[in-house]
């Protein structure tokens, strides 16, 4: 008896998706192998030390050696681990500097991780998106990835609460403004004017509060420190290899990273048309974050965790005839390669695959109307 296309599709995709999730789980557990190289929370140490400097000596906040000495424990003295965030981010980081770093790292990771998972599921990602290996890696590093991803996903989904959405976007921009450099364009494309205004007002308010607490000098010092930070990263081949931007890839290959700015019109157009035509949340996340990374000098591989909810949304579309392509992109994204730009590149192919022809084997039975996913969202 011959099988219908839908039946064959179901028999193939169910075990295939389960196998992919098992691979992801194994790779996530493999993150623990990094303990042989460095303790967990090394990146959080920089955030913690920035908050510590705000308490002990705000005038030395962007003194790379001073901030590195405050950390002491992660990689030993003599290794520079600077604080590179704007002074406005101290409003979030300083409270965590009141406790020992190890306790603060646990609290930070649990709270921001729970927020990231909650907003990811609220945005439509299946709960198993946490198995994507970059999520475990981001947790191991202790960076601000979970917090920023959660704020942006919440802001994108709170269409019915434009002011609150803007507040969330403004907080994210106050922590890492380069990540949201294309957000104003996206909000204009959607005509979310109240959200745009609320975003600007919130960002300015947080900057004003930080200036009231610590003065304007740290802001000028931050701007002066950015070239020094770029120089530090660009002369550390290991960091360049693990950066995901085209700028970093060109630097890794010995070319002028500035050529990557030629991608700016493409990134802007991508964001504009994705938001203008009302793309789904997965495409919006990929366009917003991906567009920013295409024109940023450096963004490290832990930022790939920002794409985990969107990647999982695509993986859950098991009835889509292009599903094998989504699987290949998701698996390729999880493989550590150098330069890490390859992982970003394959991630960005997910929405682009919609324009490609589907495999005949995965044709859909017109008489059936299967569920969007063979594995429940949970």
pLDDT single digits (tens) 157-180: 999 999 999 999 999 999 999 999
Alpha helices in 64-144 (DSSP H): 64-71, 90-93, 101-122, 133-141
pLDDT at 16: 87
Q: 376 pLDDT exceeds 50? A: no
pLDDT in tens, 114-157: 999 999 999 999 999 999 999 999 999 999 999 999 999 999 99
Mean pLDDT, residues 334-340 taken together: 90
Q: How many CB atoms lie within 10 A of CB 227?
A: 9
- Per DSSP, the three-state class of 344 is helix
CA distance 192 to 355: 28
Torsion angles phi and psi, residue 300, rounded to 5 = -85, 170
The residue to which tokens 């600077």 are assigned: 82
Q: What is the pTM of this model?
A: 0.90
By the 8 A CB rule, do 172 and 115 touch? no
Out of 204-218, 254-268, 359-373, which region has the weakest mean confidence (pLDDT)?
Answer: 359-373
pLDDT at 356: 72
DSSP letter (8 states) at residue 181: T
108: alpha, beta or left? (left if phi > 0; alpha if psi -120 to 50): alpha
pLDDT at 10: 58
CA distance 67 to 172: 23
pLDDT at 371: 38
CA distance 45 to 219: 21
Domain residue ranges in the chain:
5-362
Q: Give residue 71's pLDDT band: very low, low, confident or very high (50, 70, 90).
A: confident
Q: How many CB atoms lie within 10 A of CB 160?
A: 7
Mean pLDDT, residues 310-318 taken together: 94
pLDDT in tens, 223-274: 999 999 998 888 888 899 999 999 999 999 999 999 999 999 999 999 999 9
3-state helix, strand, coil in the chain (%, to 5): 75, 0, 25
CA distance 290 to 270: 10
Q: Give residue 366's pLDDT band: very low, low, confident or very high (50, 70, 90).
A: very low
């Amino acid at each position: 008896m011959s099988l219908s296309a839908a039946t064959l599709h179901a028999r193939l995709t169910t075990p295939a998706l389960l196998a992919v999730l098992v691979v992801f789980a194994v790779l996530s557990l493999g993150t623990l192998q990094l303990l042989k190289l460095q303790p967990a929370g090394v990146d959080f140490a920089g955030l913690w030390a920035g908050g510590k400097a705000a308490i002990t000596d705000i005038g030395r906040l962007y003194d790379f050696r001073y901030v590195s000495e405050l950390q002491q424990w992660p990689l030993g003295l003599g290794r520079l681990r600077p604080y590179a965030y704007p002074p406005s981010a101290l409003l979030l980081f300083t409270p965590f500097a009141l406790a020992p770093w190890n306790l603060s790292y646990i609290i930070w990771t649990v709270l921001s991780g729970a927020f990231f998972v909650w907003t990811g599921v609220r945005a439509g990602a299946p709960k198993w998106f946490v198995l994507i290996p970059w999520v475990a890696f981001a947790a191991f590093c202790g960076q601000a990835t979970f917090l920023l991803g959660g704020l942006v996903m919440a802001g994108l989904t709170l269409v019915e609460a434009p002011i609150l959405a803007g507040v969330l976007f403004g907080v994210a921009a106050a922590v890492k403004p380069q990540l949201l450099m294309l957000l104003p364009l996206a909000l204009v494309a959607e005509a979310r004017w109240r959200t745009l205004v609320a975003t600007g007002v919130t960002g300015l308010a947080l900057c004003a509060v930080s200036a009231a607490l610590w003065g304007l000098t740290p802001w000028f010092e931050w701007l002066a420190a950015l070239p020094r930070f770029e120089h530090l990263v660009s002369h550390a081949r290991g960091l360049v290899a693990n950066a995901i931007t085209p700028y970093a890839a060109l630097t890794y290959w010995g070319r002028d990273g500035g050529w990557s700015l030629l991608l700016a019109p493409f990134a802007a157009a991508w964001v504009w048309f994705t938001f203008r035509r009302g793309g789904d949340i997965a495409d919006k996340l990929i366009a917003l974050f991906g567009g920013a990374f295409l024109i940023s000098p450096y963004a490290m591989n832990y930022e790939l965790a920002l794409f985990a909810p969107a990647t999982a949304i695509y993986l859950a579309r098991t009835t889509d005839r292009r599903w094998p392509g989504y699987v290949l992109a998701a698996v390729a994204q999880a493989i550590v390669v150098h330069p890490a730009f390859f992982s970003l590149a394959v991630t960005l192919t997910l929405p682009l695959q919609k324009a490609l022809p589907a495999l005949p084997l995965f044709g859909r039975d017109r008489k059936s109307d299967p569920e969007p996913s063979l594995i429940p969202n949970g």
